Structures are given as C-alpha cells and as structure tokens.
Amino acid sequence: MTTEQINKETGEKKKRKELKALGFIIVVLFPVLSVFAIGGYGLIIWLIQAFGGVIPH
C-alpha cells in the first residue's frame, strides 16, 4: 500500500468517527444534559421552598 492509500483509509475512519461523535451528541448527550440541567434547577427551587425559604417572584 502506498502512503496515499493509508492516509485515505485512516481518513475514512476519522470521518466516520467524527460523524458518530456528532450523532452521539445530538441524540444522547445534549438532550440528557438539558433535561438534567432544567430538572435540577427546578428541583433546587422546589427544595429551597420546601425547607421554608421564600423565592422572590
């Protein structure tokens, strides 16, 4: 194999990797993170209220 062929091979692999990573972020990571972030925020406010604190409107 020539160096060109090797480069092309790893290049194909790399591209697949990048697409996979992007897909993972879109489908799994960011949805999960955003749900946790907003849910956590709500939970914190709820807990503060539950333990007698008053949140300004």
Partner 1 sequence: MKWFKNLWQTLNTPAKYLTLGSISLTAFIMGVMFWGGFNTALEATNTEEFCIGCHSMESKPYQELQKTVHWSNHSGVRATCPDCHVPHSWGRKIARKMEASSDVWGWVFNTVNTSEKFEDKRLEMASREWARFERDDSLACKNCHNYDSMKWDTMSKLAQKQMKRAAEKDQSCVDCHKGIAHILPDMGTARAPQLIAEVGTGPSKFTNEQYYFSALTKPLFFSAKGDVEAGTLNVATKVKILESKENRVKVSISGWRKQIGAGRVIYYDFGINMLTAQLSKEAAKTEGVINGFEEKEDEMTGLKWQRVETTLWTDAEYLITEQQPLWDYARTTFRSSCSVCHTQPDEAHFDANTWPGMFQGMIAFVNMDQDTQALVQKYLQQHSSTFVKKEH
Tokens, residue 49: 């209220």
Q: Are 32 and 38 in contact (CB under 8 A)?
A: no
Task: To the nearest 10°, report the CA torsion of 34, 40, 41, 47.
Answer: 170
Q: What part of residues 1-57 is at the interface with partner 1 (CB under 8 A)?
A: 11, 14-15, 17-22, 24-26, 30-31, 34, 38-39, 41-43, 45-46, 49, 54-55, 57
Task: Name the DSSP letter for residue 51.
Answer: T
Minimum distance of partner 1 from residue 53's CB (angstroms): 10
Residues at the interface with partner 1 (CB under 8 A): 11, 14-15, 17-22, 24-26, 30-31, 34, 38-39, 41-43, 45-46, 49, 54-55, 57
